[in-house]
Amino acid sequence: MEYDPSAGTSDIISNNTQNNENKRKRSPEDVIELLEEKIKQDPKNVNAWLDLLDEIRNRDKPDDIRDAYENALKVFPNSTKLWVDYIDVELSHSEFPRVEKLFSRCLPKVLNVQLWTNYLGYVRRVNNISKDGEAARNIISQAFEFVLAKIGVDRNSGQIWNDYIEFIKCKPTESTWEEQQKMDLTRKSYRKAIDIPLSNLNVIWQAYNNFENSLNKGTARKFIGEKSASYMKARSCYKELENLTTDIQISALPKKRNFTPMEKKQLEKWRKWIDWEKSNPLGLDNETDVQSRVIYAYKQAVMQLRYFAEIYFEAFGYCSQAKNSDEALEFLKTGLEANRTSFILSYKIAEVYEKEGQNQDVKVIYENLIKFLQEERVTLSSIEESVTEDNEKLQIQRKLIDNASDITMVYITFMRTLRRMEGIKEARKIFSEGRKLPYSTHQIYSASAYLEYHNNKDAGIASKIFEIGLKRFLLEPDYVIQYFNFLILVNDDVNARALFEKSVDKMEPEQAKPLYKHFIKYESDYGELSALSKLEDRFNQLYADEPLVNIFSERFDIYGLNVIQDVDLGERFKTNISAPAILDAENNESGDYDIDGESGHIKRARENEYLNEQSERSTPAATVPTGILNILSILPSSVSYGPPTFDPSKLARLLKDIKIPDTLV
């Protein structure tokens, strides 16, 4: 609302008071409705979700709280905070069966030390050793082993390792054999932990020293000496790991991706950690152990980088190379759940299914991708209708254009995939479906036509498809060029020329320009000079502002090489200018010119040239040996170097004019 200078102070105070009263009167239900509306508009609005959960939790209605957390977990299924808070709510009401179901849902996909520590706490809470004795102890022991097998490589799992070892030590024994068993298990656990770069490694190492010395000081030196190198290695690696992960941001809920520089930096930091793990800095002998650490790092990454499709793809690639196909496929599935419209993940998982002969699964992937993209289109169209501001409307329209291209590309890829799997007839069905969409782009016609042609080398069907597309895309230069190229491919020169004339006759001059250029190039390569000259005359009349030299040089562009551009127009020279020459030219922009208007380096070059000429006149010509000539012939041309930066004549004058103090003579 704009400020009204005519409004009195009392009115402003009255309005502010009224606004404050409205804020005070806003009920929790109103706040919840407002937050739900924000989430409806943007399902990945992290702040709105956190505020909504706080509001609903404050109302202390268990069913409402459960519904809220279940809805949030549909959007953020790997969020540690959501699972921990949800479980705490159920624990506060002693809903143990619900708690166990929640743990069974979240533990397999959320590898977080806090969550797994809470799980251990729950297991110890419901299994009372004082009451249930050895049975409870066995359950707790199995829980510890399960947890450490899953997250024991995490640098923050040191406290769990410590608790496990203390748990083993506390077990009562009734015989020497049982005592020996306990001692062996304790030593084994210590030695496992010492191999891992843990945050409390120094504490565990000291405790291990005390443990061995308390048993037998004679054997302690041997056992401790065996693990000393591993401890030093793990301690050094922990410091490296800390430096690598210091700036990695950990958020309560993964934020949607906006492709910002900060997001790119975060992605690179995660990649550095993963690459560090791949390099096997701990020097592990077992390749499986190395792979476990790398995969664990990838799983940590995807929990934070939930909407970064490439990190899932990279994880898939690593697991595939490691021959771990189950983990590889799981990364793709998880990534696709988070990024429903990801092309890279959809295409890759479709290829995996295709290789396995799972044709129906391939179809489901493509059908879902099309469905999700079409849902986005419906949403965009709805927003476009409600938007009134021109700028916003233009942005939505651009998104709709991009969406149309995206959907068309999926249809094309689906079409090609089906041709491989089930033959050309199935591919035709997808083409028929895709081309009927009012927003599909011209590429679907070109793709189908070429698919038909390469399938049976029959140009007839392909030409018909191009002709059908021409009715819709006659004014699209890119489509006409595709059709033109096809006609040239099948040696149909007559129809190619007819297509050109038909198209440029219908197009506006600016639309037809790329088509003219394309046809000029064709006539130059394969036509007659007389026809080429007439075509150039037509072009020059239509596009008088176009430099003639550009049009002429483009004719002689041969598979990426263009001697006119490179030599006559200096493109090759531009790329060979040395850095010193560029710097010298920049320095002379400050006005380093003499009274004759020459820059310093040009004048020096002229003076040196004069001195060289005088030297050549006074020195009789000499025969240059063949070896020297050979060397000179392979040296770069003089144009590759900048102007001289050393001026011998000025140096001579400087030395001549220097006055040396008498005390130094």
- Looking at the predicted structure, is the pLDDT value of residue 579 above 70? no
165 class by beta-carbon count within 10 Å (0-12 exposed, 13-18 middle, 19+ buried): buried
- Could you tell me what percent of the chain has a pLDDT over 70? 85
Mean pLDDT over 380-385 rounds to 91
Mean pLDDT over 115-119 rounds to 97
The pLDDT, as a whole number, for residue 652 is 76
- Are 331 and 315 within 8 A, CB to CB? yes
| Three-state DSSP state, 558 | strand
Q: Which are the contacts of 579, defined by CB distance < 8 A and separation ≥ 6?
A: 642
Any idea where the domains of the chain sit in the sequence? Answer: 36-245, 578-587+595-616+636-665
- Looking at the predicted structure, is the pLDDT value of residue 510 above 90? yes
How many Cβ atoms sit within 10 Å of the Cβ of residue 507? 18
* Helix ranges (DSSP H) in 152-175: 158-169
What does the alpha-carbon distance between residue 30 and residue 52 come to, in Å, rounded to a whole number? 11
The pLDDT, as a whole number, for residue 653 is 76
What does the alpha-carbon distance between residue 145 and residue 126 come to, in Å, rounded to a whole number? 17
The pLDDT, as a whole number, for residue 41 is 85
Mean pLDDT over 22-34 rounds to 69
- Are 45 and 35 within 8 A, CB to CB? no
What does the alpha-carbon distance between residue 34 and residue 607 come to, in Å, rounded to a whole number? 81
The pLDDT, as a whole number, for residue 372 is 97
For residue 641, the 8-state DSSP code is S
- Looking at the predicted structure, is the pLDDT value of residue 24 above 70? no
Mean pLDDT over 624-651 rounds to 64
Long-range interactions of 178-182: CB distance < 8 A, separation 24+: none
- Looking at the predicted structure, is the pLDDT value of residue 491 above 80? yes
What does the alpha-carbon distance between residue 638 and residue 612 come to, in Å, rounded to a whole number? 15
Give the angle subtended at the CA of 340 by the CAs of 266 and 313, to the nearest 5°.
50
Higher pLDDT, 621 or 196: 196
pTM: 0.80
Helix (H) or strand (E) holding 608: helix 600-618
561 phi, psi to nearest 5 deg = -105, 135
Mean pLDDT over 582-601 rounds to 48
The pLDDT, as a whole number, for residue 588 is 52
Higher pLDDT, 73 or 631: 73
What does the alpha-carbon distance between residue 125 and residue 132 come to, in Å, rounded to a whole number? 12
What does the alpha-carbon distance between residue 659 and residue 110 come to, in Å, rounded to a whole number? 81
- Are 539 and 516 within 8 A, CB to CB? yes
Q: Which are the contacts of 33, defined by CB distance < 8 A and separation ≥ 6?
A: none
Q: What is the separation of C-alpha 158 from the centre of its chain, rounded to a whole number of angstroms?
A: 32
Structural fold of domain 36-245: 1.25.40
- Looking at the predicted structure, is the pLDDT value of residue 474 above 60? yes
- Each residue of 563-575: pLDDT tens digit? 999 998 888 887 6
The pLDDT, as a whole number, for residue 12 is 36
The pLDDT, as a whole number, for residue 3 is 31
Mean pLDDT over 334-353 rounds to 97
Residues, the chain: 665
What does the alpha-carbon distance between residue 557 and residue 108 come to, in Å, rounded to a whole number? 59
* Helix ranges (DSSP H) in 93-128: 96-106, 113-126
Q: How confident is the model at residue 662 (pLDDT cuts 50, 70, 90)?
A: low
The pLDDT, as a whole number, for residue 132 is 87
Convert 218-230 to b/e letters by CB count within 10 Å (16 or more is b).
eebeebbeebeeb
Count of alpha carbons within 13 angstroms of residue 493, beta-carbon side: 5
Q: How confident is the model at residue 23 (pLDDT cuts 50, 70, 90)?
A: very low
Q: How confident is the model at residue 207 (pLDDT cuts 50, 70, 90)?
A: very high
- Are 205 and 231 within 8 A, CB to CB? yes
The tokens describing 617, both together, are 């006149």
The pLDDT, as a whole number, for residue 26 is 58
Count of alpha carbons within 13 angstroms of residue 651, beta-carbon side: 6
Higher pLDDT, 619 or 61: 61
- Each residue of 290-305: pLDDT tens digit? 999 999 999 999 999 9
Give CA separation, 614 vs 108, 289, 620, in Å.
86, 76, 12
| Three-state DSSP state, 66 | helix
**DSSP structure string for 323-336:** T-HHHHHHHHHHHH
How many Cβ atoms sit within 10 Å of the Cβ of residue 269? 17
The pLDDT, as a whole number, for residue 598 is 47
The tokens describing 308, both together, are 């970064």
Higher pLDDT, 10 or 276: 276
The mean predicted confidence, pLDDT, of the chain is 87
For residue 590, the 8-state DSSP code is G
How many Cβ atoms sit within 10 Å of the Cβ of residue 416? 16
What does the alpha-carbon distance between residue 526 and residue 519 come to, in Å, rounded to a whole number? 10
What does the alpha-carbon distance between residue 465 and residue 305 come to, in Å, rounded to a whole number? 43
Give CA separation, 83 vs 6, 63, 304, in Å.
55, 16, 15
- Are 643 and 601 within 8 A, CB to CB? yes
Q: How confident is the model at residue 218 (pLDDT cuts 50, 70, 90)?
A: confident
What does the alpha-carbon distance between residue 384 and residue 283 come to, in Å, rounded to a whole number? 58
Mean pLDDT over 627-631 rounds to 68
Give CA separation, 399 vs 384, 565, 613, in Å.
10, 38, 68
Mean pLDDT over 414-434 rounds to 97
**DSSP structure string for 399-415:** HHHHHHHHHHHHHHHHH
Q: What is the separation of C-alpha 111 from the centre of its chain, rounded to a whole number of angstroms?
A: 23
Mean pLDDT over 601-613 rounds to 49
The pLDDT, as a whole number, for residue 7 is 39
First to last CA, the chain: 86
The pLDDT, as a whole number, for residue 642 is 56
Q: How confident is the model at residue 595 (pLDDT cuts 50, 70, 90)?
A: very low
The tokens describing 261, both together, are 């520089």
What does the alpha-carbon distance between residue 316 and residue 347 come to, in Å, rounded to a whole number? 13
